[in-house]
Structure 1
Amino acid sequence: MRITFCQGILAVAITINLLILYYISRLQQRVLHRHREHMPPSTHQQLGPLKPGVTILIREFQDFENYVPDVVRSFVKQKPELPAVVVADRLPYPPMGLPSMPSVQVVILKPAPDQPAHTSRPETYVRTAYVALVPDGVKADPTSQLERMLEEFKASQGKVEMVAAPVRSLMPLQCLNLKVSLKRWTAEYTPAAPSSKLCTALKGEAVLLLRTKDLFNLSVPLAKPLMTSLFIQTSLRGWTVRILDISFSAVHQPLLTSSHNQWKADNLAKASRLQLFRDFGIKRVLLEDGKEQWFGCSKETQRCFGTIHDDTPEYLYQNRWTPPCCLKALRETAKYVINILEMSGVRYWLEGGTLLGAARHQDIIPWDYDVDLGIYLEDIPNCELLRSAESGSIVDERGFVWEKAIEGDFYRVQYSEHNHLHVDLWPFYPKNGFMTKDTWMDHRQDVEFPEHFLKPLVPIQFAGFLALAPNNYRSFLELKFGEGVIENPEYPNPALKRMEKGNGM
Structure 2
Amino acid sequence: MRVTLCQAALGGAIVLNLLLLFCVWRGPGGSPPSCRVPRGVPGITVLLRDFEDFENDLAGTARSFASLPAPVLVAAEVAPYPPVPLPAGVRLLLLRPVADRPPVHLELHVHTRHVALVPDGTRAVPGLLERMRDALEEGPGDTRLAVAPVGTVPLRCLELRVEPRAWTARYSPGEAGLCGAVEGTAVLLLRTRDLFALPFPLARPVPTAIFIQAALRGWGLRVMPAAFPAPRRPPVSPHGRWKAEKLGESRRQQLMRDLGIKREVLADGGERWYGCSKETARCFGTVHARTPQYLLAGRWTPPCCLRALRETARHVAGALEAAGVRYWLEGGSLLGAARLGDIIPWDYDVDLGIYREDVGKCRWLAAAAAGEPVEDTEGFLWEKAAEGDFYRVHYSRSNRLHVDLWPFYPRRGVMTKDTWLGHPQDVEFPESFLQPRVPMAFAGFTAMAPNNARAFLELKFGPGAIENPEYPNPDIKRLGQD
Indicate conservation of the 8 Å contact 1:46/1:127, yes or no: no
Q: How far apart are residue 258 of structure 1 and its match? A: 2.1
1:68 and 2:58 correspond: yes
Indicate conservation of the 8 Å contact 1:149/1:246, yes or no: no
Determine which of 14, 39, 43 is the counterpart of 1:53: 43
Matches within 5 A, 1:316-331: 316-331=295-310
Residue identity matched to 2:23? R
3-state SS of paired residue (2:358): helix
1:113 and 2:99 correspond: yes
Cα distance change on mapping 1:189 and 1:417 into 2, 3 Å = same
Residue identity matched to 2:114? Y
Cα distance change on mapping 1:406 and 1:282 into 2, 3 Å = same
- Paired position in structure 1 for 2:122: 138
Q: How far apart are residue 482 of structure 1 and its match? A: 1.1
Q: How far apart are residue 37 of structure 1 and its match? A: 4.2
Indicate conservation of the 8 Å contact 1:197/1:244, yes or no: no
Matches within 5 A, 1:408-447: 408-447=388-427
Indicate conservation of the 8 Å contact 1:176/1:200, yes or no: yes
1:163-183 CA deviation, whole Å, 9 max, x = no partner?
Answer: 1111114x4311111111121
Q: How far apart are residue 112 of structure 1 and its match? A: 3.1
Matches within 5 A, 1:191-206: 191-193=173-175, 196-206=176-186
Q: How far apart are residue 31 of structure 1 and its match? A: 7.3
Q: Distance in 2 between matches of 1:236 and 1:27?
A: 44
Q: Which runs of 5+ in 1 are unaligned?
A: 1-25
Q: Distance in 1 between matches of 2:226 and 2:93?
A: 29
Q: How far apart are residue 30 of structure 1 and its match? A: 6.6
- Paired position in structure 1 for 2:348: 369
Residue identity matched to 1:207? V
3-state SS of paired residue (2:426): coil
- Paired position in structure 2 for 1:152: 135
Stretch of structure 1 that moved more, 277-286 or 31-40: 31-40
- Paired position in structure 2 for 1:92: 80
Q: Distance in 1 between matches of 2:92 and 2:32?
A: 18
- Paired position in structure 1 for 2:172: 190
- Paired position in structure 2 for 1:128: 112
- Alignment size in residue pairs: 466
1:281-331 CA deviation, whole Å, 9 max, x = no partner?
Answer: 211111111111111111111111111111111111111111111111111
Cα distance change on mapping 1:214 and 1:28 into 2, 3 Å = closer
- Paired position in structure 2 for 1:17: none
Q: Distance in 2 between matches of 1:160 and 1:59?
A: 23
3-state SS of paired residue (1:477): helix
1:359 and 2:345 correspond: no
Residue identity matched to 2:202? L
3-state SS of paired residue (1:402): strand
- Paired position in structure 2 for 1:36: 23
Q: Distance in 1 between matches of 2:49 and 2:423?
A: 53
- Paired position in structure 1 for 2:71: 83
Q: Distance in 2 between matches of 1:337 and 1:496?
A: 31
Q: Distance in 2 between matches of 1:189 and 1:47?
A: 39
Cα distance change on mapping 1:462 and 1:42 into 2, 3 Å = same
Q: How far apart are residue 334 of structure 1 and its match? A: 0.7
TM-score (norm 2): 0.92
3-state SS of paired residue (1:161): strand
1:402 and 2:360 correspond: no
Matches within 5 A, 1:261-340: 261-340=240-319
Indicate conservation of the 8 Å contact 2:78/2:94, yes or no: yes
Q: Distance in 2 between matches of 1:397 and 1:34?
A: 72
Percent identical residues: 54
Q: Distance in 1 between matches of 2:414 and 2:398?
A: 38
Indicate conservation of the 8 Å contact 1:47/1:213, yes or no: no
Q: Distance in 2 between matches of 1:297 and 1:74?
A: 44
Q: Distance in 2 between matches of 1:217 and 1:31?
A: 28
Indicate conservation of the 8 Å contact 1:393/1:404, yes or no: yes
Q: Distance in 1 between matches of 2:274 and 2:244?
A: 20
Q: Distance in 2 between matches of 1:47 and 1:286?
A: 42
3-state SS of paired residue (1:107): strand
Indicate conservation of the 8 Å contact 2:171/2:267, yes or no: yes
Indicate conservation of the 8 Å contact 1:42/1:124, yes or no: no
Stretch of structure 1 that moved more, 391-400 or 43-52: 43-52
1:362-398 CA deviation, whole Å, 9 max, x = no partner?
Answer: 1011111111111111222222222222221111111
Indicate conservation of the 8 Å contact 2:39/2:193, yes or no: no
RMSD, matched Cα: 2.1
Q: Distance in 1 between matches of 2:440 and 2:174?
A: 38
- Paired position in structure 1 for 2:361: 382
- Paired position in structure 2 for 1:11: none
Q: Distance in 1 between matches of 2:263 and 2:329?
A: 27
1:40-85 CA deviation, whole Å, 9 max, x = no partner?
Answer: 2544544844211111111111112222222222123233xx1111
Q: How far apart are residue 35 of structure 1 and its match? A: 4.7
- Paired position in structure 1 for 2:161: 179
Q: Distance in 1 between matches of 2:67 and 2:421?
A: 75
Indicate conservation of the 8 Å contact 1:43/1:123, yes or no: no
Q: How far apart are residue 159 of structure 1 and its match? A: 4.9
Q: How far apart are residue 157 of structure 1 and its match? A: 4.5
- Paired position in structure 1 for 2:206: 226
Indicate conservation of the 8 Å contact 2:320/2:326, yes or no: yes
Q: Which runs of 5+ in 2 are unaligned?
A: 1-12
- Paired position in structure 2 for 1:12: none
Residue identity matched to 1:429? Y
Indicate conservation of the 8 Å contact 2:66/2:87, yes or no: no
Q: Distance in 1 between matches of 2:201 and 2:323?
A: 56
1:207-228 CA deviation, whole Å, 9 max, x = no partner?
Answer: 1111111111111111011111
- Paired position in structure 1 for 2:473: 493
Q: How far apart are residue 426 of structure 1 and its match? A: 0.8
Stretch of structure 1 that moved more, 279-288 or 229-238: 279-288
Q: How far apart are residue 116 of structure 1 and its match? A: 3.4
